[in-house]
Structure 1
Amino acid sequence: MASIPKNGEPSTRQRTAPKDGSIALYLVNGVATVWDAQVAATLHCVHSVSGLRAGTLPGVSQQNGFLGLPLTLMQEETAYLVTQGIAHLIPLSLNPTVPSPSEIAQHTAARIKRVQALEQRAKEDEIRRRAASKAEFEKAGEEARAKREKRAKAKAEKERAKRAAEAGDEGGEGLFGGDERKDVTTKENDNTETSKSTLPTKVTASTPAVSAPVPDSTPSPGYFHTVPSHPVHSTTSSSQNVITTLPHPLFPFPTTPRDHALLGVFTTLQSLNLRMGLGPRFGGEYLIYPGDYLRYHAHFTSQVIVRDEPIRPAEIVAWGRLGTGTKKAGLICCWDDGQRGDKVQLRGDEEKKAEVEFYSLEWANFG
């Protein structure tokens, strides 16, 4: 059985590059953190890993109710993401070096360019929107003009037919009968031409070409102010610091049998489409939700049992009462990999034999 490197000892395992699309988790003093809002949303919505927000602003009232980035992850969440190839770890130094003036200027210039590109895109979208609105308005005007012409023509035809019928009812023609009908017909034609001339002339609707305005070197007030920024992570860092396999001297989890049990239970619950949260304040390892914790209350409070660890009757009573007091059922998670004592099974084919059994515990009159 191979030995596991202790804390501070270099790892002898072969380093592997992270997969394409792997999420970067920044390791700060042994805790994996997420500093990007989109990455946090991806972990929450796609991979069912919510973490815990820890960002605060000193002196702001009710800051504990509105925590923000960074997002901190439990050891189980971190190990699950790394072992599944979803993410990799990037250790950050506790004493980061101050960036050079050239790095600050380069990062600030890139940020200004990005914001100016967003402003430019917003202006182009506004021009397209106005052009489309104008074309729609002109199209509606053309349709209205055609309807008015159709109604005027139908009215003129109706009047002509009515007069012709009246002329037929009068019988024979007089001395000037034919001339009178000719004058009536001429007058009707004149009225029709007059009605047409009073209608608006047809305007050809043409969509003007969208011309991109020349970007202004001066940022728009209210949108952006030039403030030199500090790069979050140096782009010149070596790729040798990327952690893709666990355990690692900088992240020694899982190492003990209980660590493996916690990771095994967490992975099994993830495969059952359940979501886990911190459970110590409710007397358990995890709070287990049937889905997004923004939509559901936790249904279970879990207790992890390692291998052949005995359970005292008093513990069963305590877990049952705890579940009743918190309006949750107790979930006993029994993890067994076939080993006994403090032996640790390393990665290999035999590790896949580890099994997790679940037992629900609640009082008979619960609920």
Structure 2
Amino acid sequence: MQHMEECKPEADNELCEAEPESSKILIHLLEGNAFVWNVEDARKIREKHGLIGKLVGALVRKPQQNTRLGLPLGLLPEETRLLVEIGAATLVCGCIKEKEHADLSDLHLQDSTSFSTAVLEESSKAEGETFKRFLLNSYEEQRQLALEEKRHTLERLSESIIKGRSKQKRRHGKREEEPMESCSHGPIKELQNLEETFHFPEEAMMVQIPTARTNLHSIEEVDLCKASLDWPYAGQKKHELRFKVFRDLWQKGYYLTSGNKFGGDFLVYPGDPMRFHAHYIAICHPQDEEIPLSYIITAGRLGTNVKKTVLLCSSNEEGLVTYTSLQWSGLQ
């Protein structure tokens, strides 16, 4: 067992400067879970801030597979808090409008679970109606564009159409019954009342697949210092320890992901996980609590089996994070 003050001899990364409000990443909270819906924000989180997250959304064209996933990007509570504290992101959650709140208050709900369910149902109805209006507006916009394109095409080809119809009539021995159409400068009959006669089928409409969720209802900013249904981590001792460890390793230049699959708190990578395997399994444990010997043996064996070093991470009252590495030395 080896005591470690630092895992990597590199200098700490400087904290990023706070970004303008207009360019901040919007992180949407839902009952303790953090999501990023905008693809550019997700790219910025990984490339600029060195945070990974996890894609949790189904692909539109292949919704029944889970090998490759898409937006939204799910963030760990520690990743979420770090982005907010460095001024790169803002936490928001959906809130009920006053009229909706008044309607729900008439239900005389008995507990918070029923209230939460009613809120979600009411929000889903509102989102459904908003999406229908979005599709209707999109159809009208595309119909207008198709109408203008049809008008320009007919105007461009009108002279050719008139000549072709005149030849066809002469071929059949018919007299010119439409002098206006026979004139090269007059409009053809298809251009008359085109607005009323033009038909644009709904099946031909292009449906946009958004990369970010539209704000279908009002949103409000969430305070990290206050515990709530959407952010229950404020003041939790375990979260505070995990965050101190996460922030310290991130400042040292490491990339971190969830360590659940290896029985730890975090997996620690020397670079982007797309290019490197994890070198460490970080396990956070309070400094003033004893660790059972069986737990240490189990963690050490696990790290050896998966070829990773186990880090026992703790923090003192001043916030200084210390690390103890576990490695099997083998039989001599």
**Fold match (TM-score > 0.5):** yes
2:44 is aligned with 1:25: no
2:239 matched residue in structure 1: 259
8 Å CA contact retained: 1:54, 1:72: yes
Larger radius of gyration: 1
Give the letter aligned to residue 292 of structure 1: D
Identify which of 221, 224, 227 aligns with 1:248: 227
8 Å CA contact retained: 2:227, 2:234: no
SS at match of 1:359: strand
1:361 matched residue in structure 2: 326
CA distance in 2, matches of 1:111, 1:316: 63
8 Å CA contact retained: 2:255, 2:268: yes
Instruction: Tell me whether 294-303 or 99-108 shows the greater mean CA deviation.
Output: 99-108
Identify which of 183, 206, 213 aligns with 1:232: 213
Give the letter aligned to residue 69 of structure 2: L
CA distance in 2, matches of 1:34, 1:228: 19
- String of CA shifts for 1:183-232, please: whole Å, max 9, x gaps: xxxxxxxxxxxxxxxxxxxxxxxxxxxxxxxxxxx99xxxx933388993
2:108 matched residue in structure 1: none
Structural RMSD (CA): 3.7
SS at match of 1:65: coil
8 Å CA contact retained: 2:283, 2:310: yes
CA distance in 2, matches of 1:37, 1:304: 32
2:281 is aligned with 1:279: no
1:109 Cα offset (Å): 5.2
- 1:319-358 to structure 2, matched below 5 A, reads 319-337=299-317, 353-358=318-323
Query: Alpha carbons of 1:277 and 1:313: their partners in 2 closer, same or farther (altered >3 Å)?
Result: same
2:80 matched residue in structure 1: 78
8 Å CA contact retained: 2:255, 2:272: yes
2:126 matched residue in structure 1: 98
CA distance in 2, matches of 1:60, 1:101: 26
1:104 Cα offset (Å): 5.5
- 1:175-254 to structure 2, matched below 5 A, reads 225-227=205-207, 232-234=213-215, 237=218, 241-250=220-229, 251-254=231-234
Q: Unmatched 5+ residue regions in structure 1? A: 1-17, 118-217, 338-352
SS at match of 2:329: coil
2:8 matched residue in structure 1: none
CA distance in 2, matches of 1:102, 1:272: 46
Higher relative contact order (CA 8 A, sep 6+): 2
8 Å CA contact retained: 1:105, 1:228: no
- String of CA shifts for 1:90-136, please: whole Å, max 9, x gaps: 1136342425978865687579989x99xxxxxxxxxxxxxxxxxxx
The alignment's TM-score, normalised by the length of structure 2, stands at: 0.59
- String of CA shifts for 1:150-169, please: whole Å, max 9, x gaps: xxxxxxxxxxxxxxxxxxxx
CA distance in 2, matches of 1:261, 1:102: 42
- String of CA shifts for 1:131-155, please: whole Å, max 9, x gaps: xxxxxxxxxxxxxxxxxxxxxxxxx
Give the letter aligned to residue 66 of structure 2: N
Identify which of 49, 54, 57 aligns with 1:55: 57
2:249 is aligned with 1:269: yes
8 Å CA contact retained: 1:82, 1:244: no
Query: Alpha carbons of 1:56 and 1:229: their partners in 2 closer, same or farther (altered >3 Å)?
Result: closer
SS at match of 2:302: helix
1:84 Cα offset (Å): 2.3
Query: Alpha carbons of 1:24 and 1:108: their partners in 2 closer, same or farther (altered >3 Å)?
Result: farther
8 Å CA contact retained: 1:24, 1:90: yes
Query: Alpha carbons of 1:255 and 1:246: their partners in 2 closer, same or farther (altered >3 Å)?
Result: same
CA distance in 2, matches of 1:37, 1:111: 25
SS at match of 1:262: helix
CA distance in 2, matches of 1:66, 1:107: 28
CA distance in 2, matches of 1:62, 1:103: 23
Name the count of aligned residue pairs.
228
8 Å CA contact retained: 1:108, 1:229: no
- String of CA shifts for 1:38-74, please: whole Å, max 9, x gaps: 2111111111111111112599597221111111111
Query: Alpha carbons of 1:55 and 1:321: their partners in 2 closer, same or farther (altered >3 Å)?
Result: same
1:35 Cα offset (Å): 1.4
CA distance in 2, matches of 1:23, 1:112: 32
